[in-house]
Every structure is written in C-alpha cells, then in structure tokens.
C-alpha cells in the first residue's frame, strides 16, 4: 500500500500542473453545458437548486477530507476510503429517494436518511475550523441543500398518475391534525371572548352544557333555600341553548345521579332486595327533606322534565 501511495504522490508532484489544467477544462466544459441546458430548460429553479447542491457538496467534501488529514491526522488511505464511503452513501440515498418518488409518488424513508447523512457531514466538517460563524455555515449549508431537494420531491409532477395523487392526498389527510387548545378556545372558555352571533364555538357549547349539567344536579341535591337561585341560573342558561344542548345536559346530570347510586355503598341497592323493597326505599327517599343531615334525595327527584317542545335557538330568549 505504501508503494502504491508513493507512486501516486510522485505522479502528482511531476504532473500536478497538467492535471489541474485538465480538471479546469473539464470544469469549464461542465459549466458551459450547464448554462446551455439551463437556458433551454423550462424549470430553471431545478437547475439553480442542483447547482447550489453541487457547490455545497463539493465544499463539504473538501472540508471532510481536510478534517481527516490535518485535524485528525488519519492516514491518507483511510481518509480516502472514508471520503468515498460518505459520498457513495449520500449519492445512493438520493438516487433511491428519486426512484421511490418516481414509482410511488412519495420520497419514502430514503429522503429522511439523506438528512441524517447531511447532518453528520456538516458536523464533521465543522470540526476543521475554530471560527464559530464558519462552523455554523458548515453545519447549516448541507441541511439547507438537502431541504431544497426535499421540496422538489414533495412538489407534484406532471408524470404523477391519478393513483399517486390519491395516495398522497390520503396520506396528507391521515397526518393532518388540528390544535385542541387555541387562543380562541381559551378566551372563550374564560368568557373573555364571546362566540359568533350565528354559531357558537365548540368551547362555548361545551361550557354551557357542562354548566347546565352541574346546575341541574345541584337543583336536586342543594338545600331547599338555595334551589330557587340554582333554578334561576339554569333557566337563564337554557334560554340561550338549543334543544340538543339541553338534552345533553340532562343526560349528564342523570348519569351523575346514577353514578352516586352505583359507586356510593350507602346508596347502592342490594342485589337480593325485591322490587317492592326497592320501590319503598325510593319512595322513602323521595319523602325525605333534601339537605337534611344524612339524607340525600333520590336520583331525578325534584328535577324538572325536559319539555318536548323545541327549545329556542342559541342567542334567543324564550318569552
């Protein structure tokens, strides 16, 4: 290996000027060909992004080689192999993502792995300098170049089939999400902001239903002297609610009353009791004075039945 490397070094020392001149002509030819294709192409943004990506890759590759040889003092053979592995992994990943995009309409996991390679390359390249601003550029530019390429993969293409478009739309709908807690919902729940005049927001509707359920339950469990005020507040909320909101509040209040009978041992009806004993127990509970010591009214006692007539719409007071 040392003899081969010595021959390569000797060849470079002897013909370095000619090699650099030849590489310069090749680079000039590539630039001219790129300009011709650029002016003939319809999508010029694609060519500009490709040129920027090539420049960034070349700059990052030079930094990788410099770090391996001068910062880490690695052998030239090992540094060359590592450099080749880095570039081969990146190119193969980009090609795999392009192939999957052409076949399925989506870039797939290969595009995400390209970001990983770009981050690793940028991090290694940043170790070759002590200047903070240059370190930031070494890390940021490869990521930005891969991000620009990612946008070209996500963009619809003329070659996409209808099946690809439907699958892409379905995946976007499956991944779509909405915020549950928003400034509007918080302000509405705190009654700082009012909902629209025509339709109430979900937060306001939930608040009204929950409040009516609490008041309906309190109307049957609170002391007798407090019930008129509770019923007044319940009627006040019901005037601005719809029939569906009133029914939902009634269901929640009834569920709360049944939960007390089921979960509180003192209120649970025994499994061996007969139907007459159960009825007599409920009758005695109905005759008990609400709010007295050790006594609670039966579920549903004292609660007014929900009328069958249609309640007025939100924002309208009943006469």
- Contacts of residue 100, Cβ cutoff 8 Å, sequence gap at least 6: 106, 107, 108, 110
* pLDDT given for residue 314 in this prediction: 41
Round to whole Å and give the CA distance between 198 and 203.
15
CB neighbourhood size of 211 (10 A):
15
pLDDT in tens, 30-50: 778 877 877 887 777 777 877
35 found inside a domain: no
Whether residue 86 lies inside any domain: the answer is yes
Query: Same domain for 133 and 243?
Result: no
C-alpha dihedral sign at 128, 133, 136, 141: negative
Average pLDDT, the chain: 75
Decide: 288 and 297 in contact? Cβ < 8 Å: yes
Based on the fold, state whether residues 151 and 203 are members of the same structural domain: no
Comparing 245 with 17, the larger pLDDT belongs to 245
Residue 90 shares a structural domain with residue 197: no
What is the pTM (predicted TM-score) of this model?
Answer: 0.46
pLDDT of residue 194: 67
Q: Residue 92 — φ and ψ, nearest 5°?
A: -65, -35
Q: Are 73 and 191 contained in the same domain?
A: no
Domain that holds residue 315: 182-268+296-319
Q: Within this chain, do residues 300 and 264 fall inside the same structural domain, yes or no?
A: yes
84 occurs within a structural domain: yes
The 10s digit of each residue's pLDDT in 255-277 is: 888 887 788 776 544 333 333 33
Looking at the structure of the chain, the number of domains it has is 2
Long-range Cβ contact pairs of 141-145 (< 8 A, separation 24 or more): 141/56, 141/59, 141/60, 142/56, 142/57, 142/60, 142/118, 143/115, 143/118, 143/119, 144/56, 145/52, 145/53, 145/56, 145/57, 145/118
Q: What is the mean pLDDT of residues 131-151?
A: 88
């Amino acid at each position: 290996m040392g003899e081969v490397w010595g021959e390569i070094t000797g060849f470079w020392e002897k013909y370095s000027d000619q090699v650099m001149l030849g590489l310069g002509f090749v680079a000039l030819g590539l630039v001219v060909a790129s300009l011709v294709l650029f002016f003939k192409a319809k999508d010029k943004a694609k060519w500009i992004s490709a040129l920027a990506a090539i420049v960034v890759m070349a700059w990052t590759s030079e930094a990788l080689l410099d770090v391996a040889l001068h910062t880490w003092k690695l052998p030239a053979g090992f540094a060359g192999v590592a450099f080749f592995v880095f570039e081969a992994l990146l190119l193969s990943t980009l090609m795999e993502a392009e192939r999957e995009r052409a076949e399925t309409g989506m870039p797939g996991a290969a595009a995400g792995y390209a970001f990983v390679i770009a981050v690793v390359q940028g991090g290694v390249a940043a170790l070759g300098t002590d200047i903070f601003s240059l370190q930031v550029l070494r890390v940021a530019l490869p990521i930005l170049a891969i991000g620009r390429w990612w946008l070209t993969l996500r963009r619809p293409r003329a070659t996409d089939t209808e099946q690809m478009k439907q699958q892409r739309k379905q995946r976007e709908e499956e991944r779509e999400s909405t915020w549950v807690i928003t400034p509007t919902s918080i302000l509405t729940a705190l009654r700082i902001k009012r909902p629209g005049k025509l339709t109430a927001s979900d937060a306001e509707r939930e608040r009204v239903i929950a409040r009516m359920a609490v008041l309906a339950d309190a109307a049957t469990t609170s002391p007798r002297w407090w019930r008129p005020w509770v019923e007044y507040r319940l009627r006040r909320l019901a005037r601005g609610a719809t029939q569906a909101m009133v029914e939902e509040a009634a269901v929640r209040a009834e569920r709360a009353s049944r939960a007390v009978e089921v979960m509180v041992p003192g209120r649970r009806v025994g499994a061996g009791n007969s139907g007459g004993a159960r009825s007599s127990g409920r009758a005695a509970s109905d005759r008990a004075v609400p709010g007295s010591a050790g006594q609670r009214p039966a579920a549903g006692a004292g609660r007014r039945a929900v009328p069958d007539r249609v309640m007025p719409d939100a924002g309208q007071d009943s006469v």
